[in-house]
Amino acid sequence: QKEVEQNSGPLSVPEGAIASLNCTYSDRVSQSFFWYRQYSGKSPELIMSIYSNGDKEDGRFTAQLNKASQYVSLLIRDSQPSDSATYLCAVNWGGKLIFGQGTELSVKP
Amino acid sequence: DAGVIQSPRHEVTEMGQEVTLRCKPISGHNSLFWYRQTMMRGLELLIYFNNNVPIDDSGMPEDRFSAKMPNASFSTLKIQPSEPRDSAVYFCASILGGPNNEQFFGPGTRLTVL
């Protein structure tokens, strides 16, 4: 059973702080990894994709991948109340995405 | 582009009734995915199509569920007969090119089976 695990939270951070979201996966064969953001009552939308070990930065978002440890994370710098949402980690296995349960992030003004 | 279109947006039905959910992918996208999302189980892949051909339906929970994609611009997910445990939000998503590309999700259909 291939699995993607996330801490369900809620994770609460003050405005302006760094939010750190973590994800582990069970299969070493995985090659591509994604972070989606889902606002309450809305559909998921892609924030970041990462394929190689190391860091990938896009604005206030940084994705980190460590394939040896089967670990992928998302850092959000200068968190804003508008970042409050559920963040879904997804792993591509054989052409299909397997999603984690999601981590609920709350950014307090 | 209008994005992925799903209908209806909300569906309330009684146990035992047939339910049909519809999806129009983004024009030109070659793969289409059906997901179900619940609080308990999260976002689960039910089935996906590549160039209108079903590739993997291992996520379809029971024979009561069926999906078709008669052409590149339309897909249906049917539940017959429906049961209360089928209540969930059903998302359709489409993608252009390979699986490393972004999946674009539709707005979802919220299904309630009484």
Residue pLDDT, tens place only, B40-52: 999 999 999 999 9
Residue A1: which pLDDT band, with cuts at 50, 70 and 90? low
B56-81 pLDDT tens trace: 999 998 899 999 999 999 999 999 99
Instruction: Give mean pLDDT, residues B90-106.
Output: 91
For the segment A13-39, what is each residue's pLDDT rounded down to a tens digit?
999 999 999 999 997 777 899 999 999
**Predicted pLDDT at A82:** 97
Residue scoring higher pLDDT (A93 or A101) = A101
B28-to-A100, B57, B73, B96, B105 alpha-carbon distances in Å: 29, 22, 9, 7, 15
- Average pLDDT, stretch A81-99? 92
For B106, name the nearest residue in chain A, comparing CA atoms only: A43
Q: Which residues of B touch A (CB under 8 A)?
A: 33, 42-45, 48, 50, 55-56, 91, 98-100, 102-103, 105-108
Percent of chain B having pLDDT more than 90? 89
Q: Which of residues 58-87 of A touch B (CB under 8 A)?
A: none
Q: How confident is the model at residue B37 (pLDDT cuts 50, 70, 90)?
A: very high
* B85 exposure class (CB count in 10 Å sphere: 0-12, 13-18, 19+): exposed
Q: How confident is the model at residue B1 (pLDDT cuts 50, 70, 90)?
A: low
| Residue A92 forms contact with B (CB below 8 Å) | yes
Q: What is the mean pLDDT of chain B?
A: 95
State how far the Cα of A75 lies from the Cα of A60, in Å rounded to an integer.
8
- Compute the mean pLDDT over every residue in chain A, rounded to the nearest whole number: 93
The amino acid that residue B35 corresponds to is: Y
List Cα–Cα distances, B81 to B18, B78, B104, in angstroms.
5, 9, 29
Residue of chain B whose Cα is closest to the Cα of A3: B44
